[in-house]
């Protein structure tokens, strides 16, 4: 990274010290103010840039005023990298300390709004949501629990990115607290299907994931080339795909997850773009055996995104970190997921969301295991949470928070904010 770029990052006229949202980041989201409508924004330090207001004032190209006045980012996502680069360049300029265009603008206070005065919303109209199973470590850990070490990975796992279609209507933005789900379960002491009962889930879990927002996409019948797939990735968010493991256990054969997954999926509100992540590019894991041609990448890379997940137990204020992981360890890349999804001619549309699946790694002392199912060996052991508290799975009132950031050797940092949600008692 050049010294010039570093200087510009440090010279933003907005104080970004200690913030995830530096001048190098400039993520996109959808916000509202009290009494105001939803509209598109970007984040810098502790402020939101009202993009529609900035365009109307001529600080970014006026042609985007109508686009950013909308309640979602879908149209902007669909415009492609030329438009994304144009807006990013304009934002970088007006937020730099050596540019007076915004600092001296009469509309500054209506363009640069304190985050504390805003409410965040889903950044896109999510037409479709697909969740993958892209972490080799996670797939192996789960396979060992249910099939043993010798048969941990299913025969198809290294041949293609395994996934399932999720429920887009229950994707919510960070801060949404949801009631414990109910479902049909087979009690632990029963073995016959006729002994199932309908009750609240007693085995509620989190999953540390990331979400990938699709850009322009492809027409029906066409497919996305894996080596051009990055042009169709708008950006990434943190994602928690909450799981009712007891509901899932009984229902998943033969078609996979259904009600055990469809009740709530939480994402962080700010989409960190591919352009912002580019300086943190790193090598992706080697795939062995080699994959088929349509999944073979000429330049196989990922991003060095440091991830963590923590639980604030009901009745406490102290958060206990239960996992540390890294996006770069995923066996299947975002580009491969997108190429495979579209390989049948399935149309991918702006605002579609892909989940990576649980991102477990080989971090020492079980800290790389990104679900409680793994950490507790499917509930066979307790997880020490300190101060005499233990958990096998989540209890009512527990708050789960996912965080993620990238940081270079010279201290430059971009982050994703927070993805948080609390488990409420089941509805009667």
Residue 2 has pLDDT above 60, yes or no: no
Res 222: pLDDT:
98
Residue 352 has pLDDT above 80, yes or no: yes
Q: Which region among 4-8, 94-98, 266-270, 347-351 has the lowest average model confidence (pLDDT)? A: 4-8
Query: Mind listing the domains of the chain with CATH numbers?
Result: 3-121 (2.30.30.230), 129-424 (3.90.850.10)
DSSP character at residue 293:
G
The mean pLDDT of the chain is 95
Q: Which region among 109-118, 161-170, 186-195 has the lowest average model confidence (pLDDT)? A: 186-195
Residue 143 has pLDDT above 50, yes or no: yes
Residue 225 has pLDDT above 60, yes or no: yes
User: Which residue shows structure tokens 């406490």?
Assistant: 316
Q: Tell me the average pLDDT across 282-287.
A: 98
Tokens of 11: 């010279």
3-state secondary structure 337-374: HHHHHHCCCCCCCCCCEEECCCCCCCCCCCCCCCCHHH
Res 412: pLDDT:
87
Res 1: pLDDT:
38
Active site members: 138
Q: pLDDT tens digit string along 64-78?
A: 999 999 999 999 999
Res 3: pLDDT:
39
Residue 232 has pLDDT above 70, yes or no: yes
Tokens of 191: 């073995």
Band (124; pLDDT cuts 50, 70, 90)? very high
Q: pLDDT tens digit string along 354-412?
A: 999 999 998 877 999 999 999 999 999 999 999 999 999 999 999 999 999 999 888 88
Res 365: pLDDT:
72
Q: Tell me the average pLDDT across 416-420.
A: 98
Please tell me the distance from the alpha carbon of residue 265 to that of residue 400, in angstroms, as a whole number.
12
Please tell me the distance from the alpha carbon of residue 301 to that of residue 331, in angstroms, as a whole number.
11
Res 344: pLDDT:
98
pTM over 0.85: yes
DSSP character at residue 161:
-
- Percent of the chain with pLDDT strictly greater than 90: 94
Q: Are the CB atoms for 423 and 396 separated by under 8 Å?
A: yes
3-state SS, residue 322: strand
Res 6: pLDDT:
43
């Amino acid at each position: 990274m050049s010294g010039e770029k570093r200087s510009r990052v440090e010279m933003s006229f907005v104080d970004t010290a200690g913030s995830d949202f530096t001048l190098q980041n400039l993520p996109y989201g959808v916000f509202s103010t009290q009494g105001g409508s939803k509209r598109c924004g970007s984040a810098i330090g502790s402020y939101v840039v009202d993009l529609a207001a900035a365009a109307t004032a001529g600080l970014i190209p006026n042609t985007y005023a109508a686009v950013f006045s909308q309640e979602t980012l879908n149209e902007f996502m669909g415009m492609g990298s030329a438009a994304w680069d144009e807006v990013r360049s304009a934002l970088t300029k007006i937020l730099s300390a050596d540019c007076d265009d915004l600092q001296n603008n009469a509309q500054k206070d209506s363009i640069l709004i304190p985050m504390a005065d805003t409410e965040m919303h889903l950044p896109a109209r999510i037409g479709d949501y697909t969740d993958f199973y892209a972490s080799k470590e996670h797939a192996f850990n789960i396979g060992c629990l249910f099939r043993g070490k010798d048969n941990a990975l299913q025969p198809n796992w290294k041949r293609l990115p395994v996934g399932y279609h999720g429920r887009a209507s229950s994707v919510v933005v960070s801060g949404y607290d949801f009631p414990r789900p109910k479902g049909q379960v087979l009690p632990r002491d029963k073995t016959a299907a006729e002994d199932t009962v309908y009750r609240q889930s007693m085995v509620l879990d989190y999953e540390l994931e990331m979400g990938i927002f699709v850009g322009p996409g492809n027409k029906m019948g066409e497919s996305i080339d894996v080596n051009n797939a990055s042009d169709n990735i708008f950006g990434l968010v943190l994602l928690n795909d909450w799981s009712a493991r007891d509901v899932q256990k009984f229902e998943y054969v033969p078609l996979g997850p259904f009600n055990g997954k469809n009740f709530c999926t939480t994402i962080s509100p700010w989409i960190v773009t591919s352009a912002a992540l580019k300086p943190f590019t790193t090598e992706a894991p080697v795939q062995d055996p080699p994959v088929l041609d349509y999944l073979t990448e000429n330049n196989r890379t990922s991003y060095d995104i440091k991830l963590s997940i923590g639980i604030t137990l009901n009745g406490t204020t102290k958060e206990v970190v239960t996992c540390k992981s890294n996006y770069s360890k995923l066996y299947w890349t975002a580009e491969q997921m997108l190429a495979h999804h579209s390989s049948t001619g399935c149309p991918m549309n702006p605002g579609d969301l892909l989940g990576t699946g649980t991102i477990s790694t080989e971090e020492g002392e079980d800290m790389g295991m990104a679900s409680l199912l793994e950490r507790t060996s499917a509930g066979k052991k307790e997880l020490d949470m300190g101060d005499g508290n233990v958990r096998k799975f989540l209890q009512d009132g527990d708050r789960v928070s996912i965080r993620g950031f990238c940081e270079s050797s010279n201290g430059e940092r971009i982050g994703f904010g927070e993805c948080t949600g609390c488990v409420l008692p089941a509805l009667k």
